[in-house]
Structure 1
Amino acid sequence: MPVYGETIPDYDNPYAPIITDKSVYTWTDKVKISIIAPSWNSDKFLINSIGDSQDHPIKISTREHSLDQYRFTETDVNSGIFTAEITLTGFPHDADGDGDIDTTPRTFGSGPTSGFLEVDRDSGITISFEFADGVILTKSVPVSWNLGEIQFAKEIFFTNDAIVVIVDDPDMNLNPEALDQIPIQVSSDSDIAGIEITAIETSESSGTFMASFFPSQTSPSSGNRLYSITGDNIVAKYSDHTLPKPYSINDDLELVTLTKIDSSVSPIDRLKSSPVFLSDSLGSPLQSISESNQVQIVGSVTNQQNFMQKFVYIFQVKDSDNYVESISWIQGEISPNQILDLSQSWTPLKSGTYQIETFVWTSLKDPTALSSPNFKLISVE
């Protein structure tokens, strides 16, 4: 049995500060505790122990559970610093919403690293050390759940990037000695149903989870591949089932974050717009144009990328006074490397000189040019 230097401690002015590695813990944390007690260094040539005796016990407890006579060991010969750790095991709860209990509550162990202690969501841990007869030193730290956070690693990803999403939720560090996993739902404007991906903890007790997936412009969503095209919003959702007060234990909250998919190709180089020509209703080019006769303004765009591209093609006709006589547009989506002809009808109401202008934008709401505009002067007889 260890021999304690019971005549050495100053009972009237006890010095044995109790230190924990965190100021607040979550329900399944590992708790590391140090007690600086040089007067309990009973043999300077040995590694001493404290706490595991009936006379001067160390107790680690919550409101309903406790580890009694828990042994702390000296960090080194003659250090006077004694350490131990326990693992909190929570209470029965479905932490990820899949219908199964994700914890194994239990209380046992004698120290210095073998202890497990059950704890509620809003509770506390108290460490008490009977420094001497009738002299008990204590330290208490709270236990509570945390509100998780989710975010993408960047505000914009390119089509050839791996898209990285990060969740911070210490409450899901269910096993502080293993890499835990959580599910995340991701979707795009082009695939609202999306896919479920698995985020893996970055280290054994970090409480930070990371997942990556890849955008696909040509294949449907599957595995860690999400169908999404340039300009799509990408949404990631994580359901937090371990919420702090004022939420109840059975509440859950959907956390959402947003990023955008873009092409590494400059927008102005994504589509090629060819000069327009005028034709009759059968598509035959016109050599001359007469007032009050309907004509077709024909243009074409070429997708110079290897994925689908949404666009809006705008036709505009101005007279010699720069007054807009006609404006119309076509919205569509063009396949990789496709050449697409587009046309709109126009009837000049009087003779004169006109300028036909065409523009290719991402959309009417987002007038980002996908090609240089084209201009053509014509005469109407």
Structure 2
Amino acid sequence: MNFKLILIFSITFTVVSTSNIFAEEIPDYFNPYAPIYTDREVYTWTDKVHITVVAPSWNANRNGIDSIGTQERHFIRIYTGEHSLEPYKLTETEPSSGIFTGEVTLTGFLHDVDDDGNPDTNPRTTGGGPTNGLLEVERDGGLTISFEFADGVVLTTSAMISWNVGEIIFDRPVFLIGDTARIQVVDPDMNLNPEAVDRVKVEISSDSDTAGITVNAIETDDDSGLFDAEFFFTQTSVSSGNRLFAMPDDSIYAKYKDNTLPLPYSIQDDLDVQIESKLESEVMPIQRISIEDVFFTDSFGILTEPTIDKTSQIVGRVSNNQSYDQSFVYIIQVKDGSKSVVSLSWMHGELTSNQSLELSQSWTPTETDNYSIETFVWKSLNNRVPLSPNSVLSYIIEQ
């Protein structure tokens, strides 16, 4: 009898999910790719430096946030000639991006920027990243960032550090009475704290008030290096606060003292950065004062006719057409028939808002003739800007 032996094998397969298991990627040491970028090529002494390293080989955890710079033998170092942050950590922007970022705030060196006798910076070097780094720097020099990508493979990038010459700007070349003036100082060196709003002082003056005022220009943003200030003009009050006494046709001056100058200046040098604008009135200069034709009176103010060898008063009326005071000089010139000047006199004065005033000057004709009596109103004898059209009156004096 033949027997058949039948063996039945039971095989069980277990399926294991590998969706959460990855082998850690190893950086390609023989083909290093990890470019280092900074957000600027040149920084000033108290800037915030934003650092980016593109290193896809260091994306070890595809579902998490990786970091670089603190692994043994793969440090990131941020340094100047005398100060260094090492190691310094950068973190991935998002899972599996392979882009690592961080920032370091430069803290400058001890220096007085506002002439009060005290330093305005707090230099120090501390922090391990990715955003808490503080690094001392000098005025001129460089900042270097290095990444030891692999044993013996160090990738670097550098940026310059330098001060800047400040700039000052009026928002318009000519202002009108009633305008609010705006001024901006551009000086990145005065962004002393890139995480807070800073301020600088600007001196403002006019031809009518050379002492002027000092205003605070406030930084437009925490890290802008742009500083704005506003002031306005008055023709009736003294200068105070953000109010500047200035009259029409005045030049308006702004001055900013820059104590942070680049080479070839020395660290101790300073520079007055200045700009000039003008203040004008909507009333044209030639229309600011009105004058009427002259007439003649005796010494008691009674109307009369001039005669030979008799002293008369040449009387004219002037009126201020503005709502603020106006200084002036009133000129009376008498010419004979041959156009020769036989009498010339002038009077300085000031008209208050919308004021009218009678002015007189004595004159004694000495012979018969056809005389021309001319009157002028100027700003001053030195500034011969006419404030009114001239007036001319012909008068015949007979025997």
TM-score by shorter chain over 0.5: yes
Cα distance in 1, alignment partners of residues 119 and 24 from structure 2: 47
3-state SS of the aligned residue for 1:344? strand
- Contact 1:357 1:373 (8 Å CA) reproduced: yes
- The within-5 A match list for 1:61-140 is 61-140=79-158
Q: Which moved more, 1:192-201 or 1:348-357?
A: 348-357
Instruction: Find the partner of 1:24 among 42, 45, 56.
Output: 42
3-state SS of the aligned residue for 1:268? helix
Please name the residue that 2:320 is paired with: 303
- Cα shift at 1:324: 4.6
Q: Which moved more, 1:198-207 or 1:327-336?
A: 327-336
Question: Where in structure 1 are there 5+ consecutive unaligned residues?
Answer: none
Instruction: Compute the RMSD of aligned alpha carbons.
Output: 2.2
Q: Which moved more, 1:264-273 or 1:141-150?
A: 264-273
Q: Which moved more, 1:263-272 or 1:143-152?
A: 263-272
Q: Which moved more, 1:37-46 or 1:209-218?
A: 37-46
Sequence identity, in percent? 54
Please name the residue that 1:375 is paired with: 392
TM-score by length of structure 1 reads 0.91
Cα distance in 2, alignment partners of residues 372 and 267 from structure 1: 10
Please name the residue that 1:259 is paired with: 277
Deviation per CA, 1:261-285: give whole Å up to 9, x if none: 2222233332222221123344433
- The within-5 A match list for 1:349-360 is 349-360=366-377
- Cα shift at 1:49: 1.4
3-state SS of the aligned residue for 1:275? coil
- Contact 2:26 2:58 (8 Å CA) reproduced: no
Return the letter of the residue paired with 1:100. N
Return the letter of the residue paired with 1:50. I
Please name the residue that 2:164 is paired with: 146
Cα distance in 1, alignment partners of residues 275 and 348 from structure 2: 29
3-state SS of the aligned residue for 2:184? strand
Please name the residue that 1:182 is paired with: 200
Please name the residue that 1:240 is paired with: 258
Deviation per CA, 1:168-205: give whole Å up to 9, x if none: 11111001111101112222222222222111011111
3-state SS of the aligned residue for 1:128? strand
- Contact 1:151 1:258 (8 Å CA) reproduced: no
- Contact 1:272 1:303 (8 Å CA) reproduced: yes
Return the letter of the residue paired with 2:89. R
- Cα shift at 1:240: 1.2
- Cα shift at 1:131: 1.2
Q: Which moved more, 1:70-79 or 1:141-150?
A: 70-79
3-state SS of the aligned residue for 1:57? strand
Return the letter of the residue paired with 1:184. V
- Cα shift at 1:321: 4.9
Please name the residue that 2:223 is paired with: 205
TM-score by length of structure 2 reads 0.87
Cα distance in 2, alignment partners of residues 56 and 4 from structure 1: 20
Q: Which moved more, 1:313-322 or 1:247-256?
A: 313-322
Cα distance in 2, alignment partners of residues 333 and 76 from structure 1: 74
- Contact 2:293 2:392 (8 Å CA) reproduced: yes
Return the letter of the residue paired with 1:354. Y
